[in-house]
Amino acid sequence: MLQHLNFLTAGESHGKGLSGILEGFPAGVPLSEDIIAHDLGRRQKGHGRGGRMKIEQDRAEILSGLRHGKTLGSPIALWIKNNDWENWKTEVMAHEKPVNDIPAVTLPRPGHADLAGVQKFGFTDIRNVLERSSARETAMRVALGSICRVFLRELDIEIASHVVQIGPVKTVCEVIEDLNELNEQADRSAVRCLDLKLTQKMMAHIDDTRRQGDSVGGIFEVLASGVPAGLGSYTHWDRKLDARVAAAMISINAMKTVSIGDGLDVATAPGSEVHDEIIKVGDMIKRATNHAGGIEGGMSNGEMIRVQVTMKPIPTLARPLKSVDIKTRESGIAHKERTDACAVPAASVIGEAMLALILTDAILEKFGGDSLTQVKAHLAATGALT
Ligand SMILES: Cc1cc2nc3c(=O)[nH]c(=O)nc-3n(C[C@H](O)[C@H](O)[C@H](O)COP(=O)(O)O)c2cc1C
């Protein structure tokens, strides 16, 4: 669904590391490894994460596409080392056949890619599936998205996120227009919740659930301000901005619904409460409200983009569900791995990265330009209807 930009990731969860390439990105964008490290660090946080995040201190090395602090317009290649590889390289994840036989994982976890994955590839060891289907891969998406975030910031477009719900504990969404302030406030909460009292309740719910050997999901919201009107298009199904945003969000591991603006509430409310009246503010044409979440007819309409995403509970359970052994066909209980009990806060940072990638693509599609200077000039010349 990307029209101009391309990106690719590679790497297994306990492999040597993750690789990523961002291609079609303009020249002249200021970039450093420290900038990317900031967002990678934010992805690693959040109450409910498992032991893995204590092992990793994610940092992306920039291998190409950068000179003297500015992007070159050539492909940007990144590398994130998996510290945990040291513990896996000689046996379970060895590139060569190991000296000792490694027992295969044969009890698929309900809710994971395990069973459908072995059926698809004809594997007899579920590890061949779970290593790549793991959300470890999203660390690279965050790194690539953070490059796009720098570009967007140069155009005064900001992206932020916060957690709206963990299990049954739900907050009423506050509107904070300044997304830097919103993100700073969310970053201060161990669950990225803007309400500090609810932060405590959410943490307690995660702890209770974990104690019972279970896992918990939730909802997060991603927002973008300063987005010019007219990104995306109503002319083709696959150029619609809402379709592109939805595909990007649902592609994140464990995401099950994506809604834009008022989302599910639009099913019950009458039209007069759902559609945003068009008003004059001075010489500008504006909206009185933003129920649409900044997208109408598959295009940005100049208002704040608001996307809510639902994450299901993590499938690996300390008290595993029933399963069937793919080798013996005997009933058993699902395989157990070291696991998170809740990863909704981390997922919201991944959601920011996916929105950054999609908006960068849509900006480059509409305004073009090989360099940041050219994109800025094109943007200034277009003058969106205000
Ligand atoms: C940040 C993040 C961390 C995750 N951590 C785990 C985990 O520790 N254990 C697990 O079983 N699933 C975890 N998941 C979810 C699985 O990766 C996901 O459910 C699985 O890939 C199946 O994909 P699906 O749920 O989209 O069908 C995580 C997801 C995200 C976004």
* Per-residue confidence (pLDDT) for residue 127, from 0 to 100: 96
Query: What residues are paired with 281 via a beta bridge?
Result: 284
Range of the domain at 169: 6-382
For residues 316 and 336, the answer to whether their CB atoms sit within 8 Å is yes
Whether residue 375 lies inside any domain: the answer is: yes
342 lines ligand 1 (CB under 6 A): no
Q: How far is Cα 82 from Cα 57, in angstroms, rounded to an integer? A: 9
Q: Is residue 144 part of a domain?
A: yes
Could you give the CA distance from residue 185 to residue 192 in angstroms, rounded to a whole number?
8
Query: Among 289, 270, 269, which Cα is nearest to 279's?
Result: 289
Given this model, what pLDDT does residue 100 score? 85
How far apart are the CA of 135 and the centre of ligand 1, in A? 5
Give me the CATH number covering residue 212: 3.60.150.10
Instruction: Give the model's pLDDT for residue 385.
Output: 42
Contacts of 226 (CB under 8 A, 6+ apart): 155, 156, 157, 158
* 356 is a domain residue: yes
Q: How many domains does the chain have?
A: 1
Give pTM, 2 decimals. 0.97
CB-based contacts of 154, cutoff 8 Å, min separation 6: 29, 30, 372, 376
Which residue has its alpha carbon closest to ligand 1 atom 13?
314
What sign results for the dihedral spanned by CA atoms 30, 33, 37, 40?
A: positive
- Please report the sign of the dihedral spanned by the C-alpha atoms of residue 108, residue 109, residue 115, residue 118: negative
CA 315 – ligand 1 centroid, Å = 7
Per-residue tens of pLDDT for the chain, all 386 residues: 898 999 999 999 999 999 999 999 999 999 999 999 999 999 999 998 887 777 888 999 999 999 999 999 999 999 999 988 888 888 888 898 888 889 999 999 999 999 999 999 999 999 999 999 999 999 999 999 999 999 999 999 999 999 999 999 999 877 789 999 999 999 999 999 999 999 999 999 999 999 999 999 999 999 999 999 999 999 999 999 999 999 999 999 999 999 999 988 899 999 999 999 999 999 989 999 999 999 999 999 999 999 999 999 999 999 999 999 999 999 999 999 889 999 999 999 999 999 999 999 999 999 999 999 999 999 999 875 44
Ligand 1 pocket, residue 134 CB under 6 Å = yes
57 domain-assigned: yes
Q: Which ligand 1 atom is at minimum distance from the Cα of 340?
A: 8
Q: Please tell me the predicted confidence (pLDDT) of residue 54.
A: 78
1 in any annotated domain: no
Token reading at 253: 């591991």
Give yes or no for residue 341 CB within 6 A of ligand 1.
Answer: no
Q: Which of the listed residues 40, 44, 112, 350 should we mutate to test ligand 1's pocket, taking the one with most ligand atoms within 8 A of CB?
A: 112
